[in-house]
Structure 1
């Protein structure tokens, strides 16, 4: 089994040498690819000097864009994605690969509470995990972890879905789960990063939520539309009970809320049919490939 390791890096000259040296110790035969996302320090030259294959960008395109560029050129059957900032211990990659060998398509390194970057980030990630679990029907233990091992052919199926920013872990996890690809989690320790985080909590947090809903709509629309339709129906029913009790009549607002619930439900049904047809077409196209 050929292994490629992809490390997106932006101004990670401080932690990158230690990460690459440790990688060579634990995975000496692996192809190591460092994707320099428009760094202004010595990230690219240090990576090249330490024997990594370096892909450089003249400007910053985003973490997700770096992941996509690395995945396209990786020659391994399995790709390990990990951060270049020193947070991830390359030795844990062996644990992910061992779990992957049990028949999984993706294995994610799950951080515990101590591994979260502050209380606010920990609470946000806990909420993301709960919401993703609700959407997919699978216990998501760490939706935003960037440390994962994947089967390369499976991962490349979803490259067109991955955003260029800081949410490729969210999108890829949701896509794998909704496409019935086996996903597992392995608990890992996380060290304090070397350098400055490039994540913007509020802006990227909102983006994470939008991506969760986008993927849920793409793969399981009714799980999103049915609760919304039910909420409008119950709201209309409650308002009708109030107006009938207080004024003895049925109001236009109640009719509007009931109509909205029916419309939302029908949109969900149509979306479900479109998703099913799209999935069947994709499978048909895949079966026709030589």
Structure 2
């Protein structure tokens, strides 16, 4: 039976690929990849002669069903991203959904992941973490996500372009300028760099070029302190607290109930303060 293989590829160092991944890429009939030029370098290194087919965000609507047709005709296809795991902030979701809808076999061939690689070396808590991927470009949308997520007791894993690292660090500072973060860049490559410290210190390091804006970045943000020791909302007024929940698309009544629960107060008391009764 034909199979769609989801194959993990190196995030930098070409040696970071499994025997199974190389064997799979050699055995399949077609490799669907983001950028044929990038995948061709990997193929040349491991003497993989399988034909390559572009599959990326700009052509996935028309190419998804073409690949499904090939799978139904008996071809086996490997899906790869430029680096790391397909589907993880990379194309492939629509193809996997379509393959399952058509009753086709989908098999994963694991490999490296930039977020977890950075987390291991960061020194930040690694027992609970939340993968966010890329933050929105607009500051308002960026802050909306950070304000929601940075109050959770979970280390955040964020991917970022070198062109937007400074903006993202400034947004993190607006939420909590004392929060511990870690920056990983050029992971597994010759000039790999992982730096951990308060966000304001690492922003200064970026501005002074001690952390060069080159390569793909992973930003890790330490989770909020345990609420038993520090209430995340303690510097907010009741009105600001309610508005925070409303910004998460809660209706006013639900937001007031949530604030009352946080503050261990009566709902009517919070209602009266919020409405200035």
TM over 0.5: no
Which of the two has greater strand per residue? 2
TM tier, smaller:
0.3 to 0.5
TM-score (ref. length: structure 1):
0.32
Which of the two has greater helix per residue? 1
TM-score (ref. length: structure 2):
0.33
